[in-house]
Structure 1
Amino acid sequence: MSSINLHPGVTQKRIFLAWLPLAAMWIFMAVEQPGITAIIARMPEVKKQLAIFGVIFSFSLIIESPIIQMLSAGAALGKNRANYNKLLNSMHLFGIVLTLIHVLIGISPVFDFLILTVVNMPEDFLADSRTAFLVMSPFTASVGYRRLWQGVLIRRGQSKVIPAVMLVRLLTSAVILVLGMFFRFLPGAAVGSLALTIGVIVGAAGSLAFVRQELPRMEWGDEGFTYTSLFYFYYPLALTSFIDLAARPILSVGVARAARPIESLAVWPVVMGFMFLFNSFAKSYQEIVITLSEEPGGQKELKRFAIRMGIIVFVTFQLVVFTPLRDLWFRHVSGLDAELMELLPMSVFFASFVPAIFSSISYNRGVLITTRRTGMVSLGVFINFAAMVTLMFALRLVPEITGATLAAASFFGAMATEALFLVYKRRNG
């Protein structure tokens, strides 16, 4: 059993032991994207394929956005078999509908409009973009099932098994990436999409194997939680993820219309992946807040832990991006050439504040979800979205601002705005 069930009260040690396996899970996922971009950067047509992968990944994330919060739903509601069955049935419906949407977009003129008109990519990017996008068709359903089952494992005190599942997923993706790099059976962006998709499918299968061991031990209890109750609990969370993930392609639109667009479209996913690596420490924290905040002394100790975590990730980020370690990571690991490295300084400066801000957001979202104020969470993300779009258009007025700097500055400003709003709502109801 995990530490969640081993100790009375909430202490910093208990929080750390509960958080560590989930942090490892998110770190594994965070390593995956830089790994993919590093392989793409070592294949033909580097700028083109990196730009395509960044855009396609962003669109795929929007489609999967309604099921992202299945992790939090599983952790909050997976208390018994009745609740679990309702969550699983809902996930079946999500999986079918969202996969159909993905395929229909990919084979229709809608995709041409998104790539050529909305994002404003060159016409010769279209064919490779469509291939990469369609390869990711199973991605959404696989992510949803994996997150639901992992949320239930967290609720059941079995979070310690999650890093093992993620490690197998990561190794699977790595094998496909290496094969794609050497045998070139698909363009770079499509190889990245294939590695990501098959890795997620393997992760879902591993999570299911562990959940099946827990099902016989789950009580059938019925606390009167209906599908209507589930809808009102979950739809604000689904809206939260949709608005949150819509930021990526919208930022791509801004990047494509600022200075040095192709170079910025190639650099931005690399910066985003590096930032996500540090965000992973905070992303893993939301579910810990959900499971522990209602226990004696929970919120006070969880807040202390969030503050300490924010300080540590901020300082560590600075040590990497403002020392020679920057060249080691971005040039030698990520594979950026000298021309693309020129776009890094300002973009990583703004990005360096985001992981610390996300520590605050993760804590406050967790408290609001626990108290069933999920509407405030979605409102916070809407405010984030509005601030990001406003900043993106305002910063385009700055002469010669590169797309990478515009994206990072807009993202930073939006995250800071949401963080302030959530602090206010948590304190004032």
Structure 2
Amino acid sequence: MQAPSLSFGQITKFWMPLAGTWLMMALEGPYLAAIIARLDRPTENLAAFGIAFAFAIIIEAPVIMLLAASTTLVKDFTSYLALRRFTYKLGATLTLVQLVAVIPPIFQWIASDLMGLPSEVSRLAHHGLTIMLPWPIAIGYRRFRQGLLIRHGMTRRVVYGTALRLATMTATAAALAQVPNISGIYVGATALAIGVIVEAASSRIMTKQLVAQLNGEGSLTTDPLLVTQPAIRRFYFPLALTSVLAMAIQPTVTFFMAQSRDPLQSLAVLPVIHGLTFIFRAAGLSYQEVAIALVGNNWEHYRQLRNFGYALATGTAGGLGLIVCTPLATFWFQDISGLPPHLAKFAVLPAQILVLFPAWSVWMSFQRAILVHARLTTPVTWASSLEIGTVAVLLMVTIKTFSWSGAVAASTAVLLGRLIANLYLTAPVTRARQQPVKHQIVRN
């Protein structure tokens, strides 16, 4: 029987709201930082906000892949209940981890003894991380619910939730900023916490009808192994570990750059380069759930999604190249990003090295989507381990042996690390496509 058609237009319509969601998420950190910078003692509060935000991101990293898990696994009410139970357990566990981390003696040991933070920055960061305690369970629950929306083609509702979160953050930050002598960390952390809670609540409202529909349809799960907690753990643990490993790349890069040639310049331009590349990488990051939802149990739409991925990879890499490989680079880094002329010039070469990074991010998202859809998640973790290992080795060699500039070494290492991970996943993806998904179970 001929597979139903899936046009570029249909894929684009499904993908664009998710891409918009990623772009909006990329704006929230810089937006809140801009507000904090205009309040009292901006230096200490910006530093504390950065530390608290980084801690919170690392702690909640294991819930990030719940979006992909929900899109993949929730086929009926039975599987919905099973993954919801797993989501609650994971969220509660990570909340407990964060609760332990904010115990004053423990946080003091981490922030002051291990990281060497100034006492005032440590104190403010501790308060910020405490305010953000709702993050793990709220974000996990929200991503679980949003996976239901994606699976049922309701991607616009996902972007509505993100827009609501940003609006809530804006209103909260604007209101708190009027409080006399308030520290910026309280403004930023409270806005983030309330924003994710509101988005989680909105995701429940948006999926209420879907859940009722699943409940009325009865069980479609043919294999009971799909919905047991041990099976879900076997499926999800590699994905959670992948998120944690991905979070480890940035600290690794920062550590080596601090010991490189031109360390201050490299550390100064890295966030600006990262921000620029993320704009184009967001398109690829959002493509993972698109491919999971649309590829079909028997890979009916693999070819169409692959071809769309080719176009997306070409467009994102071309868009980045149009900026960093032309006179627009000076305009972006100097006029838009506000770098001094010498730093704007310094940022160009590292940014040019990363021109292909958005394309390889699309490739990675598509590969992960195929493996997650096939319930073969262990290779995803091995690829991430190989990626961070490659980054660390290349940084060590280029900085310690060849004395490269830190920014150039970092860009080269990150680009080649991603390529190695892409190449590693080629064989598992080929194997995954050799049998229909509907006959596979949650095993690795």
Q: Same fold (TM over 0.5)?
A: yes
Pairing partner for 1:427 from 422, 426, 430: 430
Residue deviations 1:13-32 (CA, integer Å, cap 9, x gap): 22222212211222221222
| 2:426 aligned partner, one-letter code | V
**Aligned-pair CA distance for 1:50:** 4.8
Superposition TM-score, scaled by structure 2 size: 0.84
Identity of aligned residues (%): 30
Q: 1:372 is matched by which residue type in structure 2? A: R
Select which of 291, 294, 299 maps to 1:292. 294
Q: How do 1:33-182 and structure 2 match up within 5 A?
A: 33-42=29-38, 50-116=46-112, 118-119=114-115, 121-122=117-118, 125-179=121-175
- Give me the whole-angstrom Cα distance separating, in 2, the residues matched to 1:146 and 1:133: 20
1:220 counterpart (218, 224, 238): 218
Which of these residues, 397, 405, 410, is aligned with residue 401 of structure 1?
A: 405
Task: State the Cα distance separating 1:362 from its structure 2 match.
Answer: 0.4
Choose the corresponding residue for 2:320, options 317, 329, 339: 317
Residues 190 and 272 of structure 1: CA distance in aligned 2, closer, same or farther (over 3 Å) = farther
Query: Residue 13 of structure 1 corresponds to which residue in structure 2?
Result: 9
Assess if the C-alpha contact under 8 Å between 1:37 and 1:270 holds in 2: no
* Offset at residue 406 of structure 1 (A): 4.7
Q: 202, 226, 233: which one pairs with 2:235?
A: 233
Alignment of 1:197 onto 2:193: yes
Note if contact 1:47-1:266 (Cα within 8 Å) is conserved in structure 2: no
Assess if the C-alpha contact under 8 Å between 2:112 and 2:119 holds in 1: yes
Checking the alignment, whether the CA contact within 8 Å between 2:69 and 2:236 is kept in structure 1 is yes
CA distance in 1, matches of 2:360, 2:302: 18
- Which gives a bigger RCO, structure 1 or 2 (Cα 8 Å, sep 6+)? 1
Deviation string, structure 1 residues 41-67 (Cα, Å, up to 9, x no partner):
555666665555444433322211211
Q: State the 1:308 CA deviation.
A: 0.8
Aligned to 1:349: 352
- Aligned pairs for 1:246-257 (under 5 A) are 246-257=248-259
What are structure 1's unaligned runs of at least 5 residues? 1-6
- The change in CA–CA distance for 1:92 and 1:55 in structure 2 (over 3 A counts) is same
What SS does the corresponding residue of 2:75 show, helix, strand or coil? Answer: coil
| Cα displacement (A) at 1:210 | 0.6
Match of residue 363, structure 2, among 356, 360, 364: 360
The answer to whether residue 273 in structure 2 is matched with residue 271 in structure 1 is yes
Q: How far off its partner does 1:357 sit?
A: 1.1
Mapped to 1, the partners of 2:255 and 2:180 lie a distance apart of 29
Please state whether the residue corresponding to 1:9 is helix, strand or coil.
coil
2-side partners of 1:409 and 1:118: how far apart?
29
Q: Gapped runs of 5+ residues in structure 2? A: 433-444
Provide the C-alpha distance between the structure 2 equivalents of 1:52 and 1:265, rounded to a whole number of angstroms.
18
Pairing partner for 2:18 from 15, 19, 22 = 22
Q: Which has the larger radius of gyration?
A: 2
Q: Is the Cα contact below 8 Å between 1:68 and 1:241 reproduced in 2?
A: yes
Classify 1:336/1:425 alpha carbon distance in 2 versus 1 (closer, same or farther; 3 Å).
same
Give the drift of 1:215.
Answer: 1.3
Q: CA deviation at 1:109?
A: 4.1
Tell which deviates more after alignment, 52-61 or 281-290: 52-61
Q: CA deviation at 1:72?
A: 0.5
Q: Which residue of 2 aligns with 1:3?
A: none
- CA apart distance, 1:339: 7.4
SS at match of 2:405: coil
Q: Deviations over 1:315-339 (max 9, x none)?
A: 2122334556556655565555667
Compare 377-386 and 130-139 and name the one that shifted more: 130-139
C-alpha separation between the residues in 2 aligned to 1:51 and 1:387?
30
> Which residue number corresponds to residue 387 of structure 1?
390
Cα deviation per residue 1:255-284 (whole Å; 9 max; x = unaligned)? 444456667556534433333222211111
8 Å Cα contact 2:398-2:404 kept in structure 1: no
Q: How much has 1:81 moved relative to structure 2?
A: 1.0
Paired position in structure 1 for 2:436: none
Per the TM alignment, residue 144 of structure 1 is displaced from its structure 2 partner at its CA by 0.6
CA-atom RMSD, angstroms?
A: 3.0
User: Contact (CA 8 Å) 1:58, 1:245: kept in 2 or not?
Assistant: no
1:26–1:422 distance in 2 versus 1, CA, 3 Å: same
Please name the residue that 2:440 is paired with: none
How far does residue 389 in structure 1 lie from its aligned partner after superposition?
2.1
List per-residue Cα deviations over 1:165-222 (Å, max 9, x = no partner): 1111122223344456665755445543333332222211111111112111113314
> In the comparison of the two structures, how many residue pairs are matched?
422
Q: Is the CA contact 2:148–2:207 (under 8 Å) kept in the aligned structure 1?
A: yes
Residues 339, 111 of structure 1: alpha-carbon distance in 2 compared, 3 angstrom cutoff? farther
Cα distance, 1:405 vs structure 2: 4.8
Shift in CA distance, 99/333, structure 1 to aligned 2, threshold 3 Å:
farther
Provide the secondary structure at the position in 2 that maps to 1:396: helix
Cα separation, 2, equivalents of 1:254 and 1:56: 22
Aligned to 1:280: 282
1:320 partner amino acid? I
1:417 matches 2:420: yes
2:330–2:345 CA contact under 8 A, matched in 1 = no
1:151, distance to aligned residue in structure 2 (A): 0.3
